[in-house]
Structure formats: structure tokens, C-alpha cells
């Protein structure tokens, strides 16, 4: 498979260096939650689905995903503080002072490390009573729809996009790369320019969507649907596009014109490097 415009963005964070140097022990926990074992070495404690349900009403829930995802689905009563918000530290301290702890941070879960990174930042800010819920909002909404919100309303199972409908939109890496070279196709990055992996697949060719500005994102999606015959979306781990599909449906973009990269940028990168 021949790829064009492939590049890797670089970024250095002291914690990331430490994680790379930490020895790894293979275990069931590591397989299911690949970041948990590593971040635990730096004092980041995780909470699982059932324990969080038990202390739900006594926790201050903080969603650290982009605003466009928080708009679509979130935990009931959750606050929104995007991980890359310049005022992240100040806002977290304010929430601790006004709402009390523990502060429980969450993102899309499992393969994403946003929740862990949020806890590490909270610790750096002097907030010690902080936990990472690392199973993610998807598992939470599926398990506890009454404690979840879809477009601000109680999560109605009838409104849920089925796994089959989502999976029908997935393209493997090779197919995605081939389709990306076709005419009248637009590549759209919904991961954000400063997200988990900082890897660019088609530098200079893809359009980074404004995921922290929902109205601007809607305008960009509608414009893209008018400009191109086929829309190809990708994110970091193949999780963010799950919530994007709800937005596309809400905007009336529901035909066979759009697809998602299966496994996201990480799977694509691993396949390219492995090949």
C-alpha cells in the first residue's frame, strides 16, 4: 500500500517520556485498559464502571472530550472541561472548591488516555482527590441510560444508533487509503489538532474540523457534504466518530456518502508501520 502525505506530529511531555521508559507487565488489565497499568505508576488511580455507579451521586463528574462530543452524549450532571482547555487547571480547581470531591474524569475509554491525563494534570494542580473512569462514556450509556444524556435528554434506546449501522460505515486501513485518493473525496479529521496521538495521516490533505465549536462544526459538515461526493472521517482510536454519526444524522447527512476509518489513526499507523 502506497501512502502520500504521511507525516508525524511531534510533542514532548515529561510524563509521556516517563511512560515510555516504564517497564510493562502483560496482564488482563493491561489488555483491557492498556494505559491503566502505566499511569498507575505515576499515581493515577482508576475507577471501574460498577464502583462509579455506586458513588455516582457523591462524585463530581468531568467530561474531558471535545465540546461536540459532550453535546451529543454525556453522563447526567457532568461538567465539561476539555482536556486542552487553556484554563483546565483553574476550572478543575474551581469545581473542586464548589462541588467537592472526588473529581471523576472520563473520556471515550479503554484505548484513550484522556481520563488518565486529566487526573495527572489535576494532581499537578494540587487536586489529590481525583479518579479516572477509563471504561468510557459508551459503556456507561449502554449500562446506565437513565444516568446518561443524549442531546441533553435522557438516553432513549430507540434513539441509539445500532452497532450494525455504525459498523456498516467502517473502512479498513487499505480501503480507506485507496478511497482517500479518489476524486470528489474529502478527508476530515475529527480528532482535533492537539489530541491523544498527535499523528497526522495525510498532512496537507485532510481538513481538521472544529470539534470544540459545535456550531462551526455543523457548518463545516454541511459545507463538506455539498462540496464532495464522499466524506472520509478519521479520529485517534475510532471512538470519536461513533458520536459524530449522531451529529451527521441530526444534520440530515444520512446517505451512503460518508465512512469512518476503522480503529482510527492509531490502527492505521500501526498497520503502516507494521507493513
Asked, for residue 197, whether it belongs to a domain, the answer is yes
Same domain, 192 and 113: no
Same domain, 152 and 20: yes
Helix axes 173-180, 264-274, angle to 10 degrees: 100
pTM of the model: 0.84
Asked, for residue 2, whether it belongs to a domain, the answer is no
Q: List Cβ neighbours of 102 (8 Å cut-off, separation of 6 or more).
A: 55, 58, 59, 60, 129, 130, 131
Number of other residues whose CB lies within 10 A of the CB of residue 7:
11
Domain hosting residue 112, numbered range = 11-159
Same domain, 85 and 175: no
Same domain, 193 and 241: yes
Same domain, 120 and 230: no
Give backbone dihedrals phi and psi of 192, rounded to 5 degrees, phi first.
95, 150
- Catalogue the E-assigned strands of 123-270: 130-133, 148-150, 153-154, 170-171, 185-189, 199-200, 207-208, 230-234, 258-261
Asked, for residue 205, whether it belongs to a domain, the answer is yes
**Which of 104, 135, 159 is a domain's end point?**
159
Asked, for residue 4, whether it belongs to a domain, the answer is no
Asked, for residue 211, whether it belongs to a domain, the answer is yes
Same domain, 28 and 110: yes
Same domain, 149 and 235: no
Please give the Cα distance from 70 to 137 (Å, whole number).
10
Q: Which residue has the cell 509521556?
A: 16
pLDDT of residue 18: 40
**Which of 159, 180, 202 is a domain's end point?**
159
Q: The domain spanning residue 238 has which CATH number?
A: 3.40.250.10
Asked, for residue 172, whether it belongs to a domain, the answer is yes
Number of domains in the chain: 2
Asked, for residue 41, whether it belongs to a domain, the answer is yes
**Which of 117, 133, 159 is a domain's end point?**
159
The rounded average pLDDT for each run of 10 residues, N- to C-terminus, in the chain (275 residues) is 32 35 39 82 94 97 97 97 96 96 93 94 95 96 95 89 95 93 93 57 81 96 94 94 96 90 88 64
Same domain, 50 and 132: yes
What residues pair up with 199 in beta bridges, in sequence order?
8
Same domain, 234 and 123: no
Exposure b/e, 48-74, CB count within 10 A at least 16 = b = ebeebeeebeebbbbbbbbbbbbbbbb
Same domain, 211 and 266: yes
What residues pair up with 141 in beta bridges, in sequence order?
none
Same domain, 135 and 18: yes
Closest CA to 73 of 7, 27, 136, 23: 136
pLDDT of residue 234: 95
CA 212 remoteness from chain centre: 12
Same domain, 169 and 246: yes
Amino acid at each position: 500500500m502506497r501512502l502520500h502525505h504521511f507525516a508525524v506530529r511531534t510533542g514532548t511531555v515529561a510524563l509521556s517520556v516517563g511512560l515510555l521508559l516504564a517497564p510493562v507487565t502483560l496482564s488482563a488489565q493491561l489488555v483491557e485498559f492498556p494505559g491503566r497499568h502505566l499511569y498507575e505508576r505515576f499515581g493515577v488511580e482508576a475507577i471501574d464502571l460498577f464502583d462509579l455507579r455506586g458513588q455516582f451521586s457523591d462524585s463530581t463528574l468531568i467530561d474531558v472530550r471535545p465540546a461536540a462530543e459532550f453535546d451529543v452524549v454525556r453522563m447526567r450532571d457532568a461538567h465539561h472541561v476539555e482536556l486542552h482547555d487553556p484554563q483546565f487547571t483553574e476550572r478543575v480547581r474551581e469545581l473542586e472548591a464548589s462541588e467537592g470531591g472526588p473529581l471523576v474524569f472520563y473520556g471515550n475509554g479503554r484505548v484513550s488516555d484522556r481520563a488518565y491525563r486529566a487526573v495527572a494534570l489535576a494532581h499537578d494542580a494540587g487536586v489529590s482527590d481525583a479518579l479516572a473512569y477509563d471504561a468510557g462514556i459508551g459503556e456507561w450509556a449502554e449500562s446506565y441510560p437513565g444516568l446518561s444524556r443524549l442531546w441533553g435528554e435522557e438516553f432513549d434506546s430507540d434513539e441509539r444508533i445500532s452497532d450494525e449501522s455504525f459498523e456498516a460505515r467502517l473502512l479498513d486501513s487499505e480501503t480507506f487509503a485507496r478511497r482517500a485518493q479518489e476524486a470528489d473525496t474529502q478527508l476530515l479529521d475529527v480528532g482535533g489538532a492537539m489530541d491523544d496521538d498527535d499523528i497526522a495521516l495525510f498532512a496537507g490533505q485532510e481538513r481538521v474540523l472544529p470539534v470544540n465549536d459545535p456550531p462551526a462544526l455543523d457548518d463545516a459538515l454541511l459545507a463538506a457534504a455539498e462540496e464532495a461526493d464522499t466524506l472520509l472521517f478519521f479520529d485517534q482510536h475510532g471512538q470519536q466518530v461513533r458520536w459524530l454519526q449522531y451529529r451527521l444524522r441530526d444534520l440530515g447527512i444520512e446517505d451512503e456518502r460518508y465512512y469512518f476509518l476503522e480503529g482510527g489513526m492509531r490502527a492505521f499507523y500501526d498497520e503502516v508501520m507494521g507493513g
